[in-house]
């Protein structure tokens, strides 16, 4: 479980996060949604420690990340897996080498165990025969699966995904979303996903936190979204004609 408590973050005179609090439970796909520029990425980066909070606290299973320094933080970071926008694979490394990378860097496993673990993770994302291919030789959806395999290589307790569906077609997006949800449940991870993909929200939004202008405006489940009378949320969600129709029929 990850808890953010009354977080504030500014850049110069731009107050990006204002008093944001929420709890993200283990075994659930927790989504952060909001318009472009609303502060989703800054929130995610603040949670993983790429930005320091100005005020407030980030707590990982009763451990205050905000109050940690040095080695303690480094150790906690080893429990985090990250899936960045655009997959962020190393072009000059093969699929297997990409997945092995965190193991090479942060584990004390021998080479044979690292290769076994990389293969296990690749099988888990249904990518059995791509080990020796390079990222440029596989599709965008396969690249995402490699990135997921790499993110789970160190068996993280916490998984962070920034726009995991960017650049993917709707069908492949669903496959990736379902994979993220499956592994979240299988390993009881606390997963936080930044997205503005409404298909993801409706598909895997077990908890949805809506950020507008740096403030938490609403939170609930995907089922509750359709019934919400929060005006700002509705303006955001039902900007899509398809969802307006869905709501009318619900």
Ligand X SMILES: Nc1ncnc2c1ncn2[C@@H]1O[C@H](COP(=O)(O)OP(=O)(O)OP(=O)(O)O)[C@@H](O)[C@H]1O
Smallest gap from residue 8 Cβ to ligand X (A): 13
Residue 39 or 102 having the CB closest to ligand X:
39
Least separation in angstroms between residue 195's CB and ligand X is 9
> In whole angstroms, what is the distance from residue 226 CA to residue 239 CA?
13
By beta-carbon proximity to ligand X, the closer residue of 16 and 130 is 16
CB of 11 to ligand X, least distance (A): 3
CB of 41 to ligand X, least distance (A): 3
Nearer to ligand X among residue 44 and residue 121 (C-beta): 44
Quote the least distance from Cβ 44 to ligand X, whole Å. Answer: 8
Which is nearer to ligand X, 9 or 150 (by Cβ)? Answer: 9
Of 13 and 128, CB closest to ligand X = 13
Nearer to ligand X, 125 or 160 (CB): 160
For binding to ligand X (CB under 6 A), which residues are involved?
A: 11, 14, 16, 34, 36-42, 196
CA–CA separation, 130 and 26 (whole Å): 31
Instruction: Kindly state the smallest distance separating residue 34's Cβ from ligand X, in Å.
Output: 5
């Amino acid at each position: 479980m990850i808890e953010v408590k009354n977080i504030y973050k500014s850049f110069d005179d731009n107050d990006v996060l204002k008093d944001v609090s929420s709890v993200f439970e283990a075994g659930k796909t927790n989504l952060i949604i909001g318009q472009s520029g609303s502060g989703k990425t800054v929130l995610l980066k603040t949670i993983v420690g790429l930005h320091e909070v100005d005020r407030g606290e980030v707590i990982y299973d009763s451990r205050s990340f905000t109050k940690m320094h040095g080695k303690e933080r480094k150790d906690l970071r080893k429990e985090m897996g990250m899936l960045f926008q655009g997959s962020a694979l190393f072009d000059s490394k093969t699929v297997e080498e990409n997945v092995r990378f965190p193991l090479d860097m942060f584990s004390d496993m021998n080479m044979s165990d690292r290769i076994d673990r990389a293969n296990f993770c690749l099988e888990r994302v249904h990518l059995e025969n791509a080990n020796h291919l390079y990222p440029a030789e596989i599709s965008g959806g396969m690249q995402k699966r490699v990135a997921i395999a790499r993110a789970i290589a160190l068996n993280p307790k916490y998984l962070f995904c920034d726009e995991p569906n960017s650049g993917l077609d709707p069908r492949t997006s669903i496959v990736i979303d379902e994979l993220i949800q499956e592994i979240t449940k299988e390993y009881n991870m606390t997963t936080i996903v930044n997205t503005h993909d409404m298909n993801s929200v409706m598909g895997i939004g077990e908890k949805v936190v809506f950020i507008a202008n740096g403030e938490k405006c609403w939170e609930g489940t995907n089922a509750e979204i359709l019934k919400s009378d929060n005006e700002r949320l509705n303006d955001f969600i039902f900007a899509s004609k398809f969802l307006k129709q869905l709501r009318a029929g619900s």
